């Protein structure tokens, strides 16, 4: 079996395992949304209704993430030469944007309840909050495995972990309300939940936008990379350098490499050394190199490097 076919087969198997976990998490969360909404209405608790609304967005987020993983497992074709990997980034962008909108709505409702705090059934608030904590924690752990190197899965994981922390706040508010009668704590717990939601969004949104704009990965120092490549034997210079991300863990690069007028086999050896270098030091697996034996004319990266140098001098 060809290496690329084996690699895609492994990716498909991994995607199947991921979609199974996402589907189970989605089902558990959807059932609990209904339970929590009913409990929030009967207990008159904004914290529970807020958490139910957040859980409902988790259902949407998990559904989108599930669909994105299925799309990403499809092989590349003539219309999608990089495949469907970016589907997960689009989902991460949608998930993080909805988090911001929901947080703003929560703050508005909490403000109204601070002005006129309604009576809250603290018993229901605490009981349902404890059940919510267990369900949210279980579903978050089911998604966590793939979240470290996949922005789509990380957006789903942060959605769920935000619920875990928010239910803790709701339970604590319910306990204090039970002993003190301070119903305004329900609104305060909602503000806490809203802040957690915003924090989750701020962790995903900028990175998703950077990837869609094909920005250089934040941990890649372009000047250091040029210096490293120039240390490879036979390399006289680097220009027209581009580094970008297809997904959080899939990076690609293209560059023009200046060399002497050498044979094709010698050029292939240089390309092999550069490929190995950027894979080990910068985690770039897909590299396109064009070897040249002419001088560097001003172009995109050369111009950017010159501008940055001038700024540094100022």
Find residue 255's DSSP bridge partners.
289
Whole-prediction pTM value? 0.63
**Do 158 and 196 contact (CB within 8 A), yes or no?**
no
- Sites in the chain below the pLDDT cut of 50: 1-11, 298, 307, 311-312, 314
Domains of the chain: 3-212 (1.20.1510.10), 222-313 (3.30.70.1350)
Q: How far apart are CA 170 and CA 174, in angstroms?
A: 6
Find residue 263's DSSP bridge partners.
none
The residues, any chain, with a CB within 8 Å of residue 286's CB and separated by 6 or more, are 246, 250, 251, 252, 253
Q: How far apart are CA 117 and CA 113, in angstroms?
A: 5
Give tens-digit pLDDT for 202-214: 877 888 888 888 8
Predicted confidence at residue 242, as pLDDT, reads 92
**Do 87 and 143 contact (CB within 8 A), yes or no?**
no
Task: For 239, list phi and psi in degrees, rounded to 5.
Answer: -150, 175
Predicted confidence at residue 249, as pLDDT, reads 74
Predicted confidence at residue 11, as pLDDT, reads 47
Dihedral class, residue 83 (left if φ above 0, else alpha if ψ from -120 to 50, else beta): left
Give tens-digit pLDDT for 72-115: 777 777 787 777 777 778 877 887 887 788 788 778 878 877 87
Predicted confidence at residue 7, as pLDDT, reads 47
Predicted confidence at residue 120, as pLDDT, reads 74
Q: What is the mean pLDDT of the chain?
A: 78
Predicted confidence at residue 247, as pLDDT, reads 78
| Residue 154, number of CB atoms within 10 A of its CB | 24
Predicted confidence at residue 310, as pLDDT, reads 52
């Amino acid at each position: 079996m060809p290496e690329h076919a084996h690699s895609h087969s492994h990716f498909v198997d991994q995607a199947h395992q991921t979609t199974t976990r996402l589907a189970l998490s989605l089902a558990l969360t959807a059932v609990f949304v209904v339970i929590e909404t009913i409990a929030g209405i009967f207990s008159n608790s904004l914290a529970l209704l807020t958490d139910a609304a957040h859980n409902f967005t988790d259902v949407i987020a998990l559904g989108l993430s599930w669909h994105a993983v299925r799309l990403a497992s499809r092989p590349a074709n003539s219309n999608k030469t990089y495949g469907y990997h970016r589907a997960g980034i689009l989902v991460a962008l949608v998930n993080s944007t909805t988090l911001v909108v929901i947080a703003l709505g929560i703050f508005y409702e909490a403000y109204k309840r601070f002005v006129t705090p309604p009576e809250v059934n603290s018993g229901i608030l605490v009981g349902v909050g404890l059940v919510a904590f267990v369900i949210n924690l279980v579903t978050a752990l089911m998604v966590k495995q793939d979240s470290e190197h996949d922005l789509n899965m990380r957006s789903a994981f942060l959605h769920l972990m935000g619920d875990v922390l928010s239910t803790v706040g709701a339970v604590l508010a319910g306990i204090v309300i039970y002993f003190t009668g301070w119903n305004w704590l329900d609104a305060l717990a909602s503000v806490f939940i809203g802040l957690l939601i915003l924090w989750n969004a701020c962790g995903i949104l900028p990175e998703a936008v950077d990837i869609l704009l094909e920005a250089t990965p934040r941990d890649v120092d372009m000047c250091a990379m040029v210096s490293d490549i120039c240390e490879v034997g036979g390399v006289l210079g680097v220009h027209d350098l581009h580094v970008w991300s297809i997904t959080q863990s899939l990076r690609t690069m293209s560059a023009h490499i200046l060399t002497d007028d050498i044979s094709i086999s010698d050029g292939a050896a240089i390309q092999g050394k550069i490929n190995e270098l950027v894979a080990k030091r910068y985690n770039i697996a897909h590299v396109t190199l064009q070897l040249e034996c002419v001088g560097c004319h001003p172009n995109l990266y050369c111009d950017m490097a010159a501008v940055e140098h001038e700024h540094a001098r100022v």
